[in-house]
Amino acid sequence: MKQTTIKDALAGNGANETILIRGWVRTRRDSKDFSFLAINDGSCLANIQAIVDEGIPGSDDIQQATTGASVEITGKLVESPGKGQAWEVTAESMTLVGTADESYPLQKKGHSPEFLREIAHLRPRSNLFGCVFRTRSRLAYAIHQFFQKRGFYYIHTPIITASDCEGAGEMFRVTTLDGKAMEADPEGRTDFFGKPTHLTVSGQLEGETFACALSNIYTFGPTFRAENSHTTRHASEFWMIEPEMAFYDLEADMTLAEEMVNYLIKDTLEHSAEDLGLFGKFVDKELISRLESVIAKPFERISYTTAIELLEKSGQKFEHPVEWGVNLQTEHERFLTEEHFKGPVTVHDYPKTIKPFYMRTNDDGRTAAAMDLLVPGIGEIAGGSQREERLEVLLENMAAHDISPDDYAWYADLRRYGSVPHAGFGLGFERMLMFVTGVANIRDVIPFPRTPGNAEF
Ligand code: 4AD
Ligand code: MG
């Protein structure tokens, strides 16, 4: 007998044969001498209906096949005479695998995401979170496909690191020393690695070493930021995709980022259609039309200077005042994408002073070859730059940022030996997932969210 996922069974695979399905009971409805079980195994959003006649092996347990219980059913996959499903299973036997009593929290439909967040160990069994995490899986696969098709190599960069890529100092220290020992040894000489180490905020610097050897690479892994941001778009642990390309300039970098976002939207529309249907119905009514409009036309591109002019001329009252030299805040990014362009926009050539040491200084001396890709509803989804490939300029930038040339000698070596123009960017995986699902809170697109004050499970 063939074990079948519910997804396959609902597609009619195994029609008129006896199949075995396994899953969790969503609902049970009893009739005179039979019961309907709606069973879900997570392979897809839809449940399969099984008709369990009184008297078949295992049917004595039917009263215990309550919401949340796990069951195995063997039976014939037949065309369903009822409405709402094409296929159903006429059970020949039922095995009650695990019971679930009335305390099972997912009794009724329609719990709030906030409630479900508190039961993050059970929320994957809800319709919404099943859809989110199937879409997350597909998105990760699509990311690998996007790069692998283009001949990029996947590089695993370290999670524990002794460098601070973004220079923001928002890092989690990794240590085996206790408080006192750490105080007595600020240099970390007696610490596990003989120096202070942290969880990585970005794999970029290590990624650059591989781009300067394999030409086109990408990383895809977890990153950690100890920033005290309490927003719906910041997590302390999140995943990032960081491509890095030798012989790329900023222009080529922006093009790749835009193509990638485009590709991922198309892939989601095509391959996560059932899950998107639920998001479009219950999470964000405009989701599908927004995604379709985004891929229908090229992304806008403007310089930071033009962005500032647009914001100044907008007549909007912003909480954070706008003038040339300030960093764009979420409210500014959202004005540009939601009000002005009504779609994604890539902003490039930011003031050098607000950007990290590794970005390439432009000929004007006051801007850096930086770019941020902004999307409606979220703001920054990806950020990157052309890297400074001129040794002297890099060393000047490091000095200006108080970065010790000794600690980054290996990074400078890339410019000392066979330096090449190169560029890259980082795409926030959860932010991309928020964009394609319409889910508004980053805590609801990552299995076990870590945010300031919260590291449950
Ligand atoms: O803009 P960020 O800080 O850039 C870098 O880390 C560069 N080293 C990337 C590169 O050039 N290789 O982060 C990149 C992206 C952001 O655009 C955002 O989407 C996401 O990572 N991100 C976060 N996502 C969730 N929670 C946070 N706290 C995030 N911080 C950044
Ligand atoms: Mg950024």
Which ligand 1 atom minimizes the distance to the CA of 432? 19
**Residue ranges of domains in the chain, CATH in brackets:** 6-98 (2.40.50.140), 123-165+200-444 (3.30.930.10)
Mean pLDDT of the chain: 96
Atom number of ligand 1 nearest to Cα 236:
28
Token pair 């879900």 in the structure block, residue: 40
Which among 383, 457, 453 has a CA at the least distance from the CA of 235?
A: 453
- Token look-up 């994408």 returns 337
pTM of the entire predicted model? 0.97
Q: Is residue 152 pLDDT above 90, yes or no?
A: yes
Give the position, in ligand 1's atom list, of the atom nearest the Cα of 240.
21
Pocket of ligand 1 contains residue 10 by CB under 6 Å: no
Nearest bound ligand to the CA of residue 234: 1
Q: Which of 171, 240, 333, 372 to mutate to test the pocket of ligand 1 (most atoms within 8 A of CB)?
A: 240
Query: 29: burial class by Cβ within 10 Å (0-12, 13-18, 19+)?
Result: exposed
pLDDT score recorded for residue 164: 79
Angle between helices 409-416 and 391-400 (to 10 degrees): 160
DSSP SS3 for 18? strand
**C-beta of residue 101 within 8 angstroms of C-beta of residue 63:** no
Measured by CA distance, the residue closest to atom 15 of ligand 1 is 428
370 lines ligand 1 (CB under 6 A): no
3-state secondary structure of 188: coil
Mean pLDDT of 272-277: 98
Res. 45 pLDDT band, cuts 50 70 90: very high
Work out the burial of residue 108: count CB atoms within 10 Å of its CB; fewer than 13 is exposed, 13-18 middle, 19 or more buried: exposed
Where is 76: in which H helix or E strand?
A: strand 70-79
Chain centroid to Cα 145, Å, comes to 16
Q: What angle do helix axes 409-416 and 204-214 make, rounded to 10 degrees?
A: 30
Report which of residues 317 and 163 the model is more confident about: 317
